[in-house]
Structure 1
Amino acid sequence: MAAPRNLVVEVGGLRDEENGEDSPTSKKPIGTKLEGKFPLSRWEFAAALAVFFIFSMALFFIFMTMPAAEYGKLKFPRTVSDLRALKDHLARYANSYPAKFILGYCSIYIFMQTFMIPGTIFMSLLAGALFGVVRGLFLVVFNATAGASSCFFLSKLIGRPVVNWLWPEKLRYFQGEIAKRREKLLNYMLFLRITPSLPNLFINLASPIVDIPFHVFLLATIIGLIPASYITVRAGLALGDLKSVKDLYDFKTLSVLFLIGSVVIVPTLLKRKRVYE
């Protein structure tokens, strides 16, 4: 017997065949991948465009306040060689217009972090090259935290279908790990931030979906980003010796990060051991 015309069961919910739209009462489960289907509804896509437009206009108006003569010399670096070539010019610019340079630097960093644009590692190297370890580390951690927080709230608005679409298996795994560690959630989030166990991009997007409280997310981000940021900022002091960004995280550096992360997650592991005894 043929299926009724008005209903078609799909992965993740019900779909009305006649009007071609998702049922408003359907809820797509975490970890379900929608094959061949754009993940955002029309209102979600419109909301994403609106947020991007607002951030872009703010960035545009900030750069409109900068000296026009400097525009032609500004170029976003894509390699360490590009960064070395840009460093001297930016150093003169930072000395001549310190407040405007800091404002422009922070705006670009937060914009890139919010909308998951690759290249923030060059911004971190630049902070070390121009401001030294202490000020550079403060700038990087501040901007990375602000950008991650913006990404968190953007994902809270429209992130669920995107993450379900891109990383269904990884999201299921993350949800399961979070469920097992609710009582020591801060320790686990610190471990993830300190070590490269999961990409920071995924953590920013998935955290609101698996119901991680924002205060836990924020504190783990501020503290957990310090070790890796210190390594990157410090490397910016010696750009001439750096051949590639891959050189930043060699086996020794990764081992140190995992060692720090292991110390942080010990209370969580001990708690689980006591539960099973």
Structure 2
Amino acid sequence: MGKARNFPLSSTEVAMVFALIGIFALGLSGVYLSMPAEDYSFLKLPRTLEELKILRDNLESYSSDYTIQVLVSYCMVYIFMQTFMIPGTIFMSLLAGALFGVIRGVALVVFAATAGASSCYFLSYLIGRPLAVSLWPDKLTFFQAQVAKRRQKLLNYMLFLRVTPTLPNTFINFASPIVDVPYHIFFFATLVGLIPAAYVTVRAGIALGELRSLGDLYDFQSIATLFFIGIVSVTPTLLSKNQSEEESNNRSERLIKSN
């Protein structure tokens, strides 16, 4: 018997992860060096609404004078967080609304979230299976069964998952290549399915000063709307399933009568 592995990743796979982190670090360093000499002690990932408001207040002037640098930095940080499943992207979505308004904010969030989800997808495709099996064995089995059952209408199912909070987006990003969700379906479902939630969050970012907690983001009406959109997206799958069952029953009845 070979020697058992104590860690789910090999040394080569760990090296690939650190290489990807290095690429992001070099990109962010380049953007940082292109900014004017100022005190940037306020630049850190926000973990509370108060930290987010401080970051917003400091970035408002930079976003008008150094728009390109702010946009590139924002996208790189968002994509990095999505790629490595770092919590806190909801604060980044709020920040987009506070700095850029609804239309540009939604476009920015959907672009960055889709790019980050795609990056996570391909990273997981390369090294994700042992980690996913180690972290979410039951959830992965459930997801794989659902994908296999809905293979014919998989896009509708993936849209439903993206629109509604049925499964965490980080899990969907990481698990999709492992359960054989094709990338083109994953990409389109992500690009379209994230728009409703992005709109809710970005719109809330415009009135950031009125937020008291993250629980204020999604009231009953917002959650009900998201689930309604999700149900609409999955309806063709349900109709197709019922139609197939009806056709199967009709064939069985005809065979019985013919005998």
Q: TM-score, normalised by structure 1?
A: 0.85
Give the match for residue 111 of structure 2. Answer: 142
Aligned to 2:186, the other structure's residue is in SS state helix
1:164 aligns with 2:133: yes
Aligned to 2:40, the other structure's residue is in SS state helix
Q: Which runs of 5+ in 2 are unaligned?
A: 247-259
> Identity percentage over the alignment?
59
1:250 aligns with 2:229: no
1:153 aligns with 2:110: no
1:102 aligns with 2:71: yes
1:203 aligns with 2:194: no
Give the match for residue 118 of structure 1. Answer: 87
Letter aligned with residue 168 of structure 1: P
Offset of residue 108 of structure 1: 1.0
Separation in structure 1 between the aligned mates of residue 191 and residue 99 of structure 2, nearest angstrom = 22
Letter aligned with residue 184 of structure 2: H
Separation in structure 2 between the aligned mates of residue 65 and residue 161 of structure 1, nearest angstrom = 40
Offset of residue 43 of structure 1: 2.0
Separation in structure 1 between the aligned mates of residue 92 and residue 37 of structure 2, nearest angstrom = 22
1:67 aligns with 2:55: no
Separation in structure 2 between the aligned mates of residue 130 and residue 70 of structure 1, nearest angstrom = 20
| Contact persistence 2:98–2:206 (CA under 8 A) | yes
Aligned length: 246
Aligned to 2:200, the other structure's residue is in SS state helix
Give the match for residue 270 of structure 1. Answer: 239
Separation in structure 2 between the aligned mates of residue 54 and residue 98 of structure 1, nearest angstrom = 22
Offset of residue 204 of structure 1: 0.3
Separation in structure 2 between the aligned mates of residue 200 and residue 155 of structure 1, nearest angstrom = 14
Letter aligned with residue 205 of structure 2: G
Letter aligned with residue 10 of structure 2: S
Give the match for residue 193 of structure 2. Answer: 224
Separation in structure 2 between the aligned mates of residue 170 and residue 194 of structure 1, nearest angstrom = 19
Separation in structure 1 between the aligned mates of residue 168 and residue 145 of structure 2, nearest angstrom = 17
Note the aligned Cα RMSD (angstroms): 1.3
| Contact persistence 2:24–2:76 (CA under 8 A) | no
Q: Which has the higher helix share?
A: 2
> Mean alpha-carbon deviation: is it higher for 93-102 or for 48-57?
48-57
Aligned to 2:134, the other structure's residue is in SS state helix
Aligned to 1:72, the other structure's residue is in SS state coil
Offset of residue 219 of structure 1: 0.3
Letter aligned with residue 136 of structure 1: G
> Mean alpha-carbon deviation: is it higher for 43-52 or for 102-111?
43-52
> Mean alpha-carbon deviation: is it higher for 56-65 or for 266-275?
56-65
Indicate which of 141, 146, 149 corresponds to 1:180: 149
Separation in structure 2 between the aligned mates of residue 21 and residue 57 of structure 1, nearest angstrom = 36
Q: TM-score, normalised by structure 2?
A: 0.91
Give the match for residue 30 of structure 1. Answer: none
Offset of residue 74 of structure 1: 2.2
| Contact persistence 2:161–2:167 (CA under 8 A) | yes
Q: Which runs of 5+ in 1 are unaligned?
A: 1-6, 8-15, 23-36
